[in-house]
Amino acid sequence: KALGMDELVREYIRSMKLASGLNTQRIFAAWDEVSGAGRYTLRKFFRAGTLYVTVSSSVVREQLYFQKDTLISAINGRLREDELFTSDDPRVSFVRELKLK
C-alpha cells in the first residue's frame, strides 16, 4: 500500500518515539497563538492533561483566568487542526486543565 508523505512523517514520529515531545511543543505553540499572552508568558509546562503557565503580569493572569474554559477549547481546537499533533499518544494528548501562576 502506498502511503502519502504526511502518513510517512506521522509513522516516523511514532516509530522514533518523538510524539510526546512534539505534542508538548505543539501545545505550547497553540497556547501562544490562541491566548495572545505569548509575550507575557515566562514558563510553560505540560503534564497529565494539565497545562501550567507562568505569566509575568498579574493583570493579564486575571484576564486569562476568566477565559480558562474558552482557552482550553481554543487550544484543543487548534491541536485538532494541527497535522503534526498525534492525538492518540497516551502520554501527551489534549489539554484538560489550565493552571495559571
Separation of alpha carbons 95 and 72, rounded Å:
6
Please tell me which residue, 99 or 8, carries the higher pLDDT value: 99
- Number of CB atoms found within 10 A of residue 62's CB: 11
Predicted confidence band of residue 11 (pLDDT cuts 50, 70, 90)? confident
Separation of alpha carbons 38 and 56, rounded Å:
10
**49-101 pLDDT, tens digit each:** 999 999 999 999 999 999 999 999 999 999 999 988 888 887 888 999 999 99
Q: CB-based contacts of 96: which residues, under 8 Å, 6+ apart?
A: 49, 50, 72
Which pTM was predicted? 0.86
Angle (deg, nearest 10), helices 68-81 and 58-65 = 80
Give the pLDDT confidence score for residue 3 in this predicted structure.
Answer: 79
- Chain-centroid distance of CA 42 in Å reads 16
